[in-house]
Amino acid sequence: MSSKKLVFLDIDGTLLLNGGPVSGKVAQALKQAYDNGHFLCICTGRAYSEVPEEMKRFDGVISAAGACVMWKDKILQAEYFAEEEKEFVTGLLEEAGATYIMEGFGNLYMKRDIRERFFRELESARDEERMLLGFFYKTIPFDSVQEAERVHKCSYFYAEKDSFWFRERLRARDMSVTSFSQAETRGNSGEITKTAFTKGTAVHYLSDHLGVPVKDTIAIGDSENDLEMLKAAGVGIAMGNASDYVKETADDVTKPVTEDGVYHAFLKYGLISEDD
């Protein structure tokens, strides 16, 4: 396996733009790389239930920002919030006045009163805010946090506190907060995870499990929660649409998602050729 590359790919802002489909050029590059014997692994902040079905057919799927690692449809590692962690996080989010979702492997959970208020407010929302509608509709309403079973992570939106406020309070619990890649949810939105489980730890775990040397791994991403993945891989590539600090961390920068950045990265690093 060491002669082949193990490639980790973020979804939002890397393979997809604002929830749209993978471009034809990138889709063809993915198929060509797979046909050339390379291993492709999704590495996303999304819960597994939110990974597009066609991407679940990749060799591997790392979901929930590194909390769940799968290979060939088999769960190799999964980490969940303890009950006291769920209660602490929901208390923090309610204090911050945030709209939030608790994310498990197969289900998304949203507090009933917050969910109902959100849908009422959405009637007058801007078009870019309506993009979240499908995501929120999939949630299961809960009245008590104990009803949210086996939670990997928590996503929140429209908080009255910034990420620094969250970071200070989460640090003592060995938890962290990162921003989303989608432009319309930056600033007062993000995801809360356990510090010990990141996209970077998942890269190391899977490469060790498969016996693939780190030098034969490539990671491509665009946002804050991709930083550890980009640093962990043999080659970390930032999308052209990534934030400046992500580009500075990466080993290389490819074109933006709007210009088929993944295709150009695959071509540059020999995963495909123009003759494929």
Q: Can you tell me which residue has the tokens 């909390």?
A: 67
Asked if pLDDT for residue 276 goes beyond 70, the answer is no
- Name the residue among 265, 199, 262, 191 with its Cα closest to residue 230: 199
pLDDT at 1: 38
How sure is the predictor about 182, in pLDDT bands with cuts at 50, 70 and 90? low
How sure is the predictor about 117, in pLDDT bands with cuts at 50, 70 and 90? confident
Asked if pLDDT for residue 177 goes beyond 60, the answer is yes
Exposed, middle or buried, 262 (CB in 10 Å: 0-12/13-18/19+)?
A: buried
Do the strands 190-194 and 217-221 form a parallel or antiparallel pair, or are they unpaired? Answer: unpaired
Q: What is the mean pLDDT of residues 248-253?
A: 97
Q: Are 9 and 15 in contact (CB under 8 A)?
A: yes
Helix (H, G, I), strand (E, B) or coil at 154: strand
pLDDT at 129: 60
Helix (H, G, I), strand (E, B) or coil at 58: coil
* Least reliable range by pLDDT among 7-11, 184-188, 235-239, 266-270: 184-188
How sure is the predictor about 186, in pLDDT bands with cuts at 50, 70 and 90? very low
Higher per-residue pLDDT: 244 or 180 = 244
pLDDT in tens, 23-44: 999 999 999 999 999 999 999 9
Asked if pLDDT for residue 187 goes beyond 70, the answer is no
Asked if pLDDT for residue 60 goes beyond 70, the answer is yes
Q: CA dist 160 to 68, 187, 197, Å?
A: 30, 10, 27
Residues 6 or more apart whose CB falls under 8 angstroms from that of 173 comprise 85, 88
Q: Are 45 and 71 in contact (CB under 8 A)?
A: no
